[in-house]
Amino acid sequence: MKTLKQYHFIAGVVALSLAAAFGQAVAQEGAPAMTPQEKEIGKKIYFERCAGCHGVLRKGATGKNLEPSWTKKDKDGKESSGGMLKLGTERLEKIIAYGTEGGMVNYDDILTKEEMNIMARYIQNTPPIPPEFSLKDMKDSWKLIVPVKDRPTKQMNKINLNNVFATTLRDTGKLALIDGDTKLIWHILDTGYAVHISRMSASGRYVYTVGRDGLVTMIDLWFEKPTTVASIRLGSDARSVDVSKFKGYEDKYLVGGGYWPPQYSIMDGGTLEPLKIVSTRGATVDGEYHPEPRVASIVASHIKPEWVVNVKETGMILLVDYSDLKNLKTTTIDSAKFLHDGGWDYTKRYFLVAANASNKIAAVDTKTGKLAALVDTKKIPHPGRGANFVHPKFGPVWATGHLGDAVVTLISTPTDDPKYAKYKQYNWKVVEELKMPGAGNLFVKTHPKSTHLWADMPMNPERENAEVNYVYDIKDLSKPPVKINVAKDSGLPETKALRRAVHQEYSQDGSEVWISLWGGKTDQSAIVIYDDKTLKLKKVITDPNMITPTGKFNVYNTMKDIF
């Protein structure tokens, strides 16, 4: 068995090789000097920690624009020019160290002072441009490890697959499959670096992961031990995948969204054979060309043979009809910038997605193929997949938290159910804002069988906020939320690095809530499990292999889009 240090070394080598794909940094006139070694370090850290929010070309999205025109001082040393603030090395170091109220985490407990100084200088130089990635490149990367004919014809293990949790071990480039009934790690598999999401096949048999290195893996749960049966690379950076779910097309295709290159790719759902690539470069909702419109969240419609593909920088929502790949039909819907995460309303007709730079939620009616609403919210909404429940006063609502404001926003959603007809007047309005003690929320979560709404704050720079969850009583939202100190409940000793309590996920039956306690690379992390009815601690998983756990995806809830 590999030691913790070996895991960290391997992860570092993998991330460095991935960062190399991002090209060579170009010297910028007037920018701070850097040695070749420092540029490599900066490139690696930027890929691991910064590109997701600020973009490969640093044009900004969830995070601020970090192009040299904003970050480097003028030749004369002044920090402003033409009314535009110029940051410079000293100020950038402070921002990196202490974070911002807008949702940027503090890195003083993640990076060394030397690394923060390198990053402050690195982002004042012109960003390198990574190479493109073609269909041929995808085919060259494709590995069909176990052909369909050689896979089991029935489940070969006795695990309750519906209650398995696919758990990202971020910095090791691995996925832990945890038996939700026994709370034991069933198996750990190699995946892409920093898996962003795991998605399930319509049958629940296969787990598809996508890492931030662009690697997709397909894992078959029917073997005695889970087995990776295929893999493929989408590019040098990616975030999302989903299968086809409409009747007659179940699991026929898989779609993957690229951060770089900015494009989406369609694959065979049973083998991952690459079939088609579609670029997303083009004009934004403002009519300006953008060279890096990344594909953010993707979901599969339940009522049409379509995927909802959200293009971050353009503010365009694409409804991609996969019924005829040779004659691909796409509906393009203008919404707002910059599109990020989102989820279904409880009817699964409307998809709601955060346009977080515009402080709006965009709602798409997948039945009519049109924009249903643009709802103004507080600063930088970040719903994850959101949370659906019936409000005692306003009827069905969908919830989102915020990176940049201390509230959870509740939005009324429509339904054809006559028992909710009296709430129609509230549809697509913010009906309530639940107070939080600070900004920095990433996920809100509930379950149809629960009376609680859980909210985290992992991006808040204060320990007292980042390491806890707040739980609201859905039946009486006038009551103050219950504070759950996840770090304290874990029983682990306090460390310099914050252990961020992140990504609540329910068990299949809605009785338990699993929370990742995401520590530093060299610190013991944990998964902390609570009884949802009593809010009491039930179990702590502190296996030595539990290194930087983040997202956890319950097979049944993910397969059925329950959130």
Which two tokens mark 527?
Answer: 């998964």
Residue 425 CA to residue 431 CA, distance in Å, equals: 11
Which two tokens mark 409?
Answer: 């926003």
User: What ranges make up the beta strands (E) of 222-359?
Assistant: 227-233, 237-243, 253-260, 263-268, 274-279, 282-283, 289-290, 295-300, 306-311, 316-321, 329-334, 339-344, 350-355
234 SS3 class = coil
> What DSSP letter does each residue of 408-474 carry, written as one string?
EEEEE-----GGGGGGGGGTTSEEEEEE-SSS----EE--TT-SEEEEE-TT-SSHHHHTEEEEEET
At residue 102, the pLDDT reads: 65
At residue 73, the pLDDT reads: 67
Torsion angle in degrees (nearest 10) through CA of 331, 379, 554, 501: 160
Per-residue pLDDT of the chain (563 residues; tens, 9 = 90+): 334 334 333 344 344 344 445 454 445 567 889 998 998 888 888 878 888 788 888 888 778 888 888 887 655 444 433 333 467 888 898 888 888 766 687 888 788 899 899 989 989 998 888 899 999 999 999 999 999 999 999 999 999 999 999 999 998 999 999 999 999 999 999 998 899 999 999 999 999 999 999 999 999 999 999 999 999 999 999 999 999 999 999 999 999 999 999 999 999 999 999 999 999 999 999 999 999 999 999 999 999 999 999 999 999 999 999 999 999 999 999 999 999 999 999 999 999 999 998 999 999 999 999 999 999 999 999 999 999 999 999 999 999 999 999 999 999 999 999 999 999 999 999 999 999 999 999 999 999 999 999 999 999 989 999 999 999 999 999 999 999 999 999 999 988 888 999 999 999 999 999 999 999 778 899 999 999 999 999 999 999 999 999 999 999 999 999 99
Residue 406 CA to residue 17 CA, distance in Å, equals: 39
**Is 187 annotated as catalytic?**
no
Is 61 part of a structural domain of the chain? Answer: yes
At residue 1, the pLDDT reads: 37
Residue 50 CA to residue 53 CA, distance in Å, equals: 6
At residue 460, the pLDDT reads: 93
Is 108 part of a structural domain of the chain? Answer: yes
Instruction: Let me know: does 393 contact 373? Beta carbons within 8 Å.
Output: no
Give the DSSP H/E element, type plus range, for residue 64.
Answer: none
Sign of CA dihedral 13, 15, 18, 20: negative
Residue 291 CA to residue 59 CA, distance in Å, equals: 10
Complete edge-to-edge strand list for the sheet that includes strand 164-169: 185-190, 174-179, 164-169, 549-554
Q: Which domain holds residue 114?
A: 22-122
Is 100 part of a structural domain of the chain? Answer: yes
Instruction: Let me know: does 208 contact 199? Beta carbons within 8 Å.
Output: yes
* CATH code assigned at 28: 1.10.760.10
At residue 559, the pLDDT reads: 96
325 SS3 class = helix
C-alpha 247: how far from its chain's center?
A: 27
Rounded to 10°, the helix 113-122/88-98 angle is 130
> What DSSP letter does each residue of 19-32 carry, written as one string?
HHTT-PPBP-TTSP
Active site residue: 54, 187, 402, 447, which one? 54
At residue 16, the pLDDT reads: 39
**Is 402 annotated as catalytic?**
no
At residue 535, the pLDDT reads: 98
Is 437 part of a structural domain of the chain? Answer: no
Is 38 part of a structural domain of the chain? Answer: yes
Residue 49 CA to residue 58 CA, distance in Å, equals: 13
Residue 375 CA to residue 271 CA, distance in Å, equals: 40
Active site residue: 290, 382, 391, 452, which one? 382
Characterise 55 by phi-psi region: left (phi > 0), alpha (psi -120 to 50), beta (else).
Answer: left
**Is 447 annotated as catalytic?**
no
At residue 69, the pLDDT reads: 83
**Is 340 annotated as catalytic?**
yes
Is 104 part of a structural domain of the chain? Answer: yes
Which two tokens mark 301?
Answer: 């419609």
> What pTM was computed for the model?
0.87
Instruction: Let me know: does 38 contact 114? Beta carbons within 8 Å.
Output: no
Instruction: Let me know: does 345 contact 392? Beta carbons within 8 Å.
Output: no
Is 316 part of a structural domain of the chain? Answer: no
144 SS3 class = strand
At residue 29, the pLDDT reads: 62
Structurally, how many domains does the chain consist of? 1
Active site residue: 187, 196, 290, 340, which one? 340
Residue 499 CA to residue 517 CA, distance in Å, equals: 6
Is 312 part of a structural domain of the chain? Answer: no
Active site residue: 53, 436, 457, 459, which one? 53
Q: Label residues 45-65 b or e (16+ Cβ within 10 Å = b).
A: bbbbbbbbbbbbbbbbbbbbe
DSSP 250: T
Helix, strand, coil in percent for the chain, rounding step 5: 20, 35, 45
At residue 48, the pLDDT reads: 80
Residue 222 CA to residue 233 CA, distance in Å, equals: 24
Residue 28 CA to residue 124 CA, distance in Å, equals: 7
